[in-house]
Amino acid sequence: MVYNEEPFDSVEFRQAMNYAIDLDQMINEILRGFGVATSQPTLPGYNGHNSDLEPYPYDPDEAESLVEQSGYAGAELELEYPAGRYLLNDELAQAAAGFIDELENVSCEAVSRDFATLAGELLDGDLSTTPSFYNIGWGNTTFDASQTLTPFLTEGTAIYHYRSDEMEQLKEQWQVETDADEREQILQEANQLAHDEAVWVFLNREWLVYGINGRIDWDPRQDEYFLAQGMNQA
């Protein structure tokens, strides 16, 4: 969601989009349980994850109420997603758009896009070419919250789509704080802000399914990288 474009310039509208989607149903029926709902930009196990945050619950009545409060009742949305890029993502994006479309005061359609074209629009550093509502995945090989918070949620990066004075102040703190515990607390505050501000519609983290030969001793990594130096003969 692009923060400076209607209707996503309203925090109430952004929150409404989170309440509109039944993530549990999507995970259970589309992913067959191989996934978990998210509540923030940083995943469990990563430095800065805020364990106090819960995913937005499915509450279409609250969603419709927040849409009315936002002043954007009657909004017509297109959710652009990269066709075939991620496991069952086409079905997930279409389901998410379907739940939003079920609201009485918002309509939404899922629009399939070529991944390379969509990614190019997101990476060109020009907000005017960024779709106002899009679906994308993001990896993090450093296991640190800043590697998601900084590029998407602070001003001046090639892919930022949100800014606030409070987030900018938190970034200034986490960039210079040398005490590990203090820095993690700052990152957790940033994740709390991202949750409360509904900086995007928080969807799911997928569990990948691996088949491992009994002759191989290897534990999958959280960042989903396959590194040969981590594999040994059993």
Q: What are the backbone dihedrals phi and psi of residue 75, each rounded to the nearest 5 degrees, phi first?
A: -60, 140
Residue 216, in any domain of the structure: yes
Residue 1, in any domain of the structure: no
Domain total in the chain? 1
Q: Which domain holds residue 78?
A: 11-233
Residue 4, in any domain of the structure: no
Whether the Cβ atoms of residue 101 and residue 93 lie closer than 8 Å to each other: no
What is the domain-level CATH number for residue 214? 3.10.105.10
> What type of residue sits at position 42?
T
CA proximity to 199, closest of 61, 17, 6: 17
What residues does 217 pair with on adjacent strands? 232
Q: How far is CA 150 from the centre of its chain?
A: 14
Residue 3, in any domain of the structure: no
Tokens standing for 53?
């945050």
Query: Helices 146-153 and 165-176 sit at what angle, rounded to 10 degrees?
Result: 140
Q: How far apart are CA 61 and CA 63, in angstroms?
A: 5
CA proximity to 110, closest of 92, 128, 129: 92
Each of the 234 residues of the chain gets a pLDDT tens digit; together they read 777 899 999 999 999 999 999 999 999 999 999 999 999 999 999 999 999 999 999 999 999 999 999 999 999 999 999 999 988 999 999 999 999 999 999 999 999 999 999 999 998 888 888 899 999 988 888 899 999 999 999 998 988 989 999 999 999 999 999 999 999 999 999 999 999 999 999 999 887 777 888 888 988 877 777 788 888 888
Please give the pLDDT value at position 1: 79
Residue 89, in any domain of the structure: yes
pLDDT tens digits along 20-78? 999 999 999 999 999 999 999 999 999 999 999 999 999 999 999 999 999 999 999 99
Residue 176, in any domain of the structure: yes
What residues does 77 pair with on adjacent strands? 108
Q: What are the backbone dihedrals phi and psi of residue 53, each rounded to the nearest 5 degrees, phi first?
A: -90, 135
Q: How far is CA 188 from the centre of its chain?
A: 16
- 78 contact partners, CB below 8 Å, separation of at least 6: 108, 109, 110, 111, 131, 133
Residue 2, in any domain of the structure: no
Whether the Cβ atoms of residue 74 and residue 87 lie closer than 8 Å to each other: no
